[in-house]
């Protein structure tokens, strides 16, 4: 148990719950994994240092998540209290320590906006170019995503005369990038690719071939894609791969549309009250936006809403109580300090 990539999914769950340390319910981790665009989720990702897992499993079914969780509870690795908050047990901690190294390699929050499109573009392009270079112009595309199709069409037009070169370069880059993974991870990644030579394996098939759970297979594939995204960003040897991120905006976490609107008003120097009036939204909602913006923007005017005494007081409680739980903090500071101020203070504290 614990070795290799087996139990990757469980490992990630355990890691999350250990870091959250009984401050959130079980659904918070589910929301994290599917990449829910809620302020609470984005904030959790930051505060608890689990942003790398943000959105790594968009299609995860709630039932499957619950099944895994229940298994871990049954094994006595985790415990669920009456408020549905999850606590990691001693047994769980030592189990987790034994498989720690395998959990690296994700960069969920960082590539949240990019991942799906990058994946679709790359896979569809490989299918297209390997088929056409064998004079096979008729094939059923692996993805019917409109955006990916348009992108691949344009890219293909540009390179169709040099398909051999393109394939060689692609091999060079994929080989180099995948070499940073284990053989098993690389092998699984290659099996998933659809090309002229073969139609890629389904998750079910990978699960059978590698004797791993479907979830673990999915996450291992994701790891492969995160690896590709990372190398193309940091290394100039990956010209082809870089191309597949064209026009995609890499940011740490997405700022919601509605918060962007508020941000624009803020940049025009409107006051909080004015923004509430202009947008005809509740003050609470605008506060949510401000917290979201505060997490994103390098220069957020924290001290328009806090003063240093308030900030210090909150910081003090976080230290003494070793907790980010809003309610707990609220109960231990001056009653005049609002939840909004506490949330902002926590953002600042984590910056």
Report the interface residues with other proteins, using CB under 8 A: 59, 126, 130, 133-134, 137-144, 146, 167-168, 170-171, 174-175, 178, 183-184, 186-191, 193-205, 208, 210
Q: Which run of H or E residues covers position 212?
A: none
Closest CA to 313 of 284, 288, 336, 294: 336
DSSP 25: B
For other proteins, the closer CB: 194 or 341:
194
The CA dihedral of 218, 224, 225, 230, to the nearest 10 degrees, is 140
For other proteins, the closer CB: 143 or 256:
143
For other proteins, the closer CB: 17 or 244:
244
Q: Angle 33-346-307 (CA atoms, 0-180°, nearest 5)?
A: 155
d(CA 323, CA 107): 25
Closest distance to other proteins from the beta carbon of 196 (Å) = 6
Name every residue whose Cβ is closer than 8 Å to that of residue 284 and which is 6 or more positions away in sequence: none
d(CA 217, CA 185): 9
Name every residue whose Cβ is closer than 8 Å to that of residue 277 and which is 6 or more positions away in sequence: none
For other proteins, the closer CB: 2 or 200:
200
For other proteins, the closer CB: 110 or 119:
119
d(CA 351, CA 62): 32
Closest distance to other proteins from the beta carbon of 7 (Å) = 18
Label residue 2 left, alpha or beta by phi (over 0 means left) and psi (-120 to 50 means alpha). Answer: left
Closest distance to other proteins from the beta carbon of 190 (Å) = 5
Closest distance to other proteins from the beta carbon of 199 (Å) = 4
For other proteins, the closer CB: 87 or 182:
182
Closest distance to other proteins from the beta carbon of 150 (Å) = 13
Closest distance to other proteins from the beta carbon of 131 (Å) = 9
């Amino acid at each position: 148990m614990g070795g290799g990539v087996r139990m990757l999914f469980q490992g990630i769950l355990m890691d999350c719950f250990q870091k959250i340390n009984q401050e959130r319910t079980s659904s918070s981790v589910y929301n994290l994994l599917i990449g829910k665009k809620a302020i609470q989720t984005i904030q959790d990702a930051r505060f608890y240092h689990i942003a790398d897992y943000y959105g790594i499993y968009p299609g995860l079914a709630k039932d499957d998540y619950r099944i895994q969780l229940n298994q871990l509870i049954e094994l006595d690795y985790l415990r669920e209290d009456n408020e549905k908050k999850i606590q990691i047990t001693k047994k769980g901690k030592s189990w987790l320590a034994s498989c720690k190294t395998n959990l690296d390699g994700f960069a969920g929050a960082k590539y949240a906006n990019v991942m799906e499109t990058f994946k679709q573009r790359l896979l569809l392009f490989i299918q297209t170019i390997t088929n056409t270079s064998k004079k096979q112009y008729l094939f059923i595309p692996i993805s019917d995503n409109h955006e990916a199709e348009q992108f691949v069409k344009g890219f293909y037009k540009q390179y169709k005369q040099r398909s051999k070169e393109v394939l060689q370069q692609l091999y060079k880059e994929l080989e180099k990038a995948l070499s940073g993974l284990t053989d098993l991870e690389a092998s699984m990644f290659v099996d998933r690719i659809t090309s002229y030579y073969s139609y890629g394996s389904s998750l079910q098939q990978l699960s059978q071939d590698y004797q791993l759970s479907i979830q673990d297979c999915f996450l291992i594939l994701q790891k492969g894609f995160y690896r590709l995204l990372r190398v193309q960003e940091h290394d100039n040897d990956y010209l082809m791969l870089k191309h597949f991120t064209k026009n995609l905006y890499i940011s740490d976490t997405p700022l919601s549309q509605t918060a962007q609107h508020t941000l624009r008003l803020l940049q025009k120097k409107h006051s909080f009250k004015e923004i509430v009036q202009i947008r005809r939204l509740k003050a609470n909602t605008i506060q949510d936006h401000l917290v979201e913006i505060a997490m994103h923007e390098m220069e957020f005017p924290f001290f328009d809403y806090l003063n240093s005494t308030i900030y210090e007081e909150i910081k003090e409680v976080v230290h003494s109580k070793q907790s980010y739980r809003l309610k707990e903090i609220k109960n231990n500071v001056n009653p005049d300090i609002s939840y909004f101020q506490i949330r902002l203070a926590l953002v600042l504290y984590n910056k």
